[in-house]
A and B are shown apart, each in its own frame.
Chain A
Amino acid sequence: MFDFLEGYDVLGAFWTTVQLTLLSAVGSLVWGTILAGMRVSPVPLMRGFGTAYVNIVRNIPLTVIIVFTSLGLSNIFGVNLGAADDFDTKFFRLAVLGLSAYTATFVCEALRSGINTVPVGQAEAARALGLSFNQVLTLIVLPQAFRSVIGPLTNVLIALTKNTTVAAAIGVAEAALLMKQMIENEAQLLLIATIFALGFVVLTLPTGLLLGWLGKRLAVKR
């Protein structure tokens, strides 16, 4: 019954999906935190840049961004991320870059709303102690903000897991691309689609449950 699976590396494709997800998650968390820092910083120019970046990038379809990393960034601007000859690695890295740039806007907005949930007294007390903006943000406000936005960040992570399928648009050999190839070549349409759908359910549901539980445990009790 499962003969059609021969010759296809389904697990390998899902492993690529997981790698895309994890690397982009780290990238977008770092870049999103920097963006959030910029958006609340005392320097007007940085605030303006953060706001503009978030509002512009968030409104462009991810597909456009991913296709641009290949046709624009790589072909015209020559950004190959150290893998000019190895096409598989190059497109994988470009996809991570595109996914991080896009997802960072959602991380930034989640963090910013988290910063707003930290009571005013926390920052005021920190300032009264003479802490600088950087110290207030990194020692007092952000640690509390992070703990209160684990829930929203989990949703961003799950959305990111699903969004990694867009990397198929530039030929990264992840789950969606393999599924497209398989259903075009094999006859078992429903069976193949079910396998891939269940694969994503297995990836996204436990993430939601685990991090949802963690979020409740780590939330600052007020």
Chain B
Amino acid sequence: MSSVLYDTPGPRARRRNMILSVVFAALLVLALWWIWQTMADAGQMEGAKWSPFVEGQAWTTYLLPGLGNTLKAAALSMIIALPLGAALGIARMSDHRWVRVPAAVIVEFFRAIPVLLLMVFANQFYSDYTAIESDTRPLYAVVTGLVLYNASVLAEIVRAGILSLPKGQTEAAQAIGMRKTQVMTTILLPQAVTAMLPAIVSQLVVIVKDTALGGAMLNFTDLLNGRKTLAANYANVIPSFIVVALIYIVLNFLLTSFASWLERRLRRSKKSTGVVLGAEDVEDLNAPGEVVGVHGVDAGARAGGDVGKAP
């Protein structure tokens, strides 16, 4: 076993790696032992603190309804944000200045401010100006906050997806006499949507994680909030945190795996142009900034430029 960074270990290196492994393992075991001891001292290892998770009561009363709300908020946000994001993304590429500039301002503004601010604002706004009842208000506020933020992130994903398509697609469509709208709706968007799928699924992970903000700050009855009521009943702070964290991890891991499976599949497929927006691109798009580039395409362009400059 070797890598570019180190040689295949000889006898001395193998001994050193062995020692490092043992020391590191000892540290890990020590840390785990300390965690175990402290939990035992605090009474968190007793059977009664864990049994609710086996008996099912904790699930049916607290965790599953919470998880349901988390998924509901995430799904609603994505469904509402997608068309909005597509509209904003396309508007940002418009030929008309009075469409392009406002769209750009909206997208950059909402990407620059924290989701929590948007949620808190929406919550107060609904309480002051609408008749939405106080028990459904947190859901509305969470979804509104997430939609405002994610529509602008999705707008950038859509824009990056369309910009990543080869120029020949537009040119060929124009050459056979298609109008601008036709080029967008029949040629560019369908291809861009396929290229964007992995990025959209990856953004779902971000949305799922952000729903927890509502649970902590707005009393939205999501998974994190379900944990609070659960722990208040059984006094099992640590076990409940571990179980809830595991649920989030499994859920997000499934979404991430699905996204990378999609990405691999699309990269292999011969039908498309082979342009794919992956998870990495999404991470970059979640921060505001004027530069939008697909990793692969960008790198290719740069390499091409260098070749041109070479003496």
For chain A, residues 50 to 76, give those with C-beta under 8 angstroms from any C-beta of chain B.
55-56, 59-64, 66-68, 71-72, 75-76
Question: Does B212 lie within 8 Å of A64, measured CB to CB?
Answer: yes
Interface size class of A (residues with CB under 8 A): 35 or more
Give the interface SS of chain B, mostly helix, strand, loop or mixed. helix
- In the complex where A45-B24, A137-B5 touch, is A155 in contact with B117 (Cβ < 8 A)? no
Question: Does B109 lie within 8 Å of A55, measured CB to CB?
Answer: no
- In the complex where A45-B21, A133-B6 touch, is A193 in contact with B117 (Cβ < 8 A)? yes
- In the complex where A78-B38, A197-B109 touch, is A183 in contact with B283 (Cβ < 8 A)? no
User: Is A40 part of the binding interface, using a Cβ–Cβ cutoff of 8 Å?
Assistant: yes
What count of chain B residues pass the 8 Å CB interface test?
63
- Please, which residues of chain A bring their CB within 8 A of the CB of B212? 61-64
Query: 10 tightest CB-CB pairs across the interface, nearest first?
Result: A155-B287, A61-B212, A59-B252, A63-B212, A158-B287, A61-B209, A162-B114, A169-B216, A133-B6, A208-B289
- Please, which residues of chain B bring their CB within 8 A of the CB of A180? 120, 217
In the complex, what distance in Å separates the CA atom of A60 from the CA atom of B243?
11
List residues of chain A with CB under 8 Å of any chain B CB.
40, 42-46, 49, 55-56, 59-64, 66-68, 71-72, 75-78, 106, 113, 120, 123-124, 127, 132-133, 136-137, 141, 151-152, 154-156, 158-159, 162-163, 165-166, 168-169, 175-176, 179-180, 183-184, 189, 193, 196-197, 200-201, 204-205, 208-209, 212, 222
Among the stretches B121-129, B160-168, B266-274, the one at the interface with A is: B121-129
Question: Does B241 lie within 8 Å of A61, measured CB to CB?
Answer: no
Give the interface SS of chain A, mostly helix, strand, loop or mixed. helix
Question: Does B217 lie within 8 Å of A205, measured CB to CB?
Answer: no
Question: Does A155 lie within 8 Å of B224, measured CB to CB?
Answer: no
- Please, which residues of chain B bring their CB within 8 A of the CB of A46? 20-21, 24
User: Is B229 part of the binding interface, using a Cβ–Cβ cutoff of 8 Å?
Assistant: no
List residues of chain B with CB under 8 Å of any chain A CB.
3-7, 9, 13, 17, 20-21, 24-25, 28, 35, 38-39, 42, 44, 108-109, 112-117, 120-121, 124-125, 128, 205, 208-213, 215-217, 224, 231, 237-238, 241, 244-245, 248-249, 252-253, 256, 280, 283-284, 286-291, 306
- In the complex where A76-B42, A179-B117 touch, is A136 in contact with B5 (Cβ < 8 A)? yes
- In the complex where A43-B17, A44-B21 touch, is A136 in contact with B217 (Cβ < 8 A)? no
